[in-house]
Chain A
Amino acid sequence: AQSVTQLDSHVSVSEGTPVLLRCNYSSSYSPSLFWYVQHPNKGLQLLLKYTSAATLVKGINGFEAEFKKSETSFHLTKPSAHMSDAAEYFCVVSDPGSARQLTFGSGTQLTVLP
């Protein structure tokens, strides 16, 4: 069985400061990992994905994430937050052994303060 734990339900940062959204996963297989972002009244947008290639993954809008197998983590970072980054972020695991394909974390609401 696969699962995802997002360690913070809410994160607040000031504009221009770094962002760290934490995610730990559990999977019986070598997983694929994703971060999706959801803005209010918008659909889920893929930010980045890890699929067993480079462990440091770069995504859109300056976000990146590092896959650490020893820590079963896939934390999302950005060097400098922008007001437009305020949204809900979901860490997602895809297990090739499961036909469900995607298991979502409970989400982290990012607030960016001016």
Chain B
Amino acid sequence: DTGVSQNPRHKITKRGQNVTFRCDPISEHNRLYWYRQTLGQGPEFLTYFQNEAQLEKSRLLSDRFSAERPKGSFSTLEIQRTEQGDSAMYLCASSLVRGWAFFGQGTRLTVV
């Protein structure tokens, strides 16, 4: 499968725990995006990378959230001290600089 891959697909965690999600983009894509989608809403932009550089972060990305793309390939999104409001689907997408975005299937986070 040469699409965007996200792991895990589902994560249930207790409030206050840290979680980390991984995204493997399409191999030749130099842009990588993270979005968050809550129930009944469209995805909202969180952050994006061009190669290993994180070029923009949304105000939605509080200081408990951190994203990395250390070698310009896969990316991780970590949420520290999770809260119930963090429960959502976290989507990763990748693209070429002037291409359209391909999305992964997402990681569904449930904070209990």
Check B45–A102 contact: CB distance below 8 A: yes
**When the two chains form their complex, are residues B91 and A44 in contact, meaning their CB atoms are under 8 A apart?**
yes
The answer to whether A46 touches B48, judged by C-beta atoms less than 8 angstroms apart, is no
Query: Which residues does B use to contact A, with CB under 8 Å?
Result: 3-4, 31, 33, 35, 40-45, 48, 55-56, 58, 91, 93, 95, 100-106
Known: A43-B105, A43-B106. A90 touches B100 (CB 8 A): no
| A43 and B103 contacting across the interface, CB-CB below 8 Å | yes
Residues of A with Cβ closer than 8 Å to B?
32, 34, 36, 41-46, 49, 90, 94, 99-107
Within the complex, the shortest CB–CB distance from A78 to chain B, in Å, comes to 20
What is the CA–CA distance of A3 and B71 in the complex, to the nearest angstrom?
33
Q: Is the CB of A107 within 8 A of B41?
A: yes
Residues of A within 8 A of B44 (CB): 104
A55 to B40 alpha-carbon distance, docked (Å): 30
Instruction: Name the CB-closest residue of B to A41.
Output: B105
Q: Is the CB of B42 within 8 A of A90?
A: yes
In whole angstroms, what is the CA distance A12 to B63 when docked? 42
Measured in the bound complex, the distance between the Cα atoms of B42 and A44 in whole Å is: 11
A-B contact list, 13 entries, CB within 8 Å: A43-B104, A43-B106, A45-B103, A46-B100, A94-B100, A99-B55, A100-B48, A101-B45, A101-B101, A102-B93, A104-B42, A104-B44, A107-B42
Please state if B42 and A100 are interface contacts (CB–CB under 8 Å).
Answer: no
A106 to B44: give the CA distance in the assembly, Å. Answer: 10
Query: In the bound complex, what is the Cα–Cα distance between A45 and B93 (angstroms)?
Result: 11
User: Bound complex: CA of A8 vs CA of B103, how far in Å?
Assistant: 24
For residue A90, give the distance in angstroms from its CB to the closest CB of chain B.
Answer: 5
